[in-house]
Amino acid sequence: MRSVGFIVTAAVAVSIGGCDVVFGLSHDRDPCDATSFATATPKDLATAQDFSVSWDRSFAVVSGDLGAFEVTLADGTTTPIDLGIYNMSGLAMAPEGTSMFFTAVVEPPSLQGALRAGAASWVTTTARLPAGTFAGTPTADEFGPRRVLVRLRDATDQIQEYEDDDGLWKPHGDVHEVGAMFAPNLTPNGLSMVFAGTDPTTLEPAVFLATRASIDDWFGDPIAILPGPHRSPQLLDTCKALYVVDDPETLREYDRS
């Protein structure tokens, strides 16, 4: 079992041991198609300024003015969690829900990591993190060494892809310009990325999808899949479920299944 990338201990090995068996979502092996979510009916899930959802869609971590919480998506139950004293943004869980990146809103913004020790219990760390300011959701462990896309600096659009090499994040490929608010989120197989940005032609906000045929390629041109000022998009359920934050501070699911 490979490590989560930013912390390597016996406790990590125990906590994520058997995750391939638990999740086993081997059908999630193709890039997303670019079918629009514009006609999908949204479902309100929780109050949130930012969020990240586990691959099996059993729970989410959300943040807001009152701190951070775990939300059980089946019934909306919320439980406070401790991720430190600072406000946070750019939440990005590993698909298995065992670890997470987030950014502490300080000056300058500081990329952090956390390991899930149990239900609504997280241990934060600044060890073994990729270099940068915001990280997106990484790939799933069952598809090979984890990949993650990281926005290098708060004030630029530069995105670096990293690969987990036995607990160390190493740059993979060149730096690319991506007009994402934080960092693009990868789907569990790493063949698609999704982000909130602005259409360069219309100058209108939208959610964009870009795909690649191979994990070793960079992504093709992004395609708008949901118009409007949505934030922190994440694609799950073989790309049929799109999660976003909409005003006023609402985590929503757009489902086109």
Query: Percent of the chain at pLDDT above 90?
Result: 86
Instruction: Identify the CATH number of the domain defined by range 10-255.
Output: 2.115.10
**Cis? peptide before 109, omega within 30° of 0:** no
Separation of alpha carbons 80 and 68, rounded Å: 6
* Domain limits, the chain: 10-255
Closest CA to 15 of 119, 101, 91: 119
Question: Model confidence at 28, in pLDDT bands (50, 70, 90)?
Answer: confident
Mean pLDDT score across all residues of the chain? 90
Residue 226 scores a pLDDT above 60? yes
Distance, CA of 242 to CA of 235 (rounded, Å): 5
pTM as predicted: 0.90
DSSP at 3: -
Tokens 């241990």 locate to 123
Q: What is the pLDDT of residues 89-129, one digit of tens each?
A: 999 999 999 999 999 999 999 999 999 999 999 999 988 99
User: For 162-173, what is each residue's pLDDT tens digit?
Assistant: 999 999 999 999
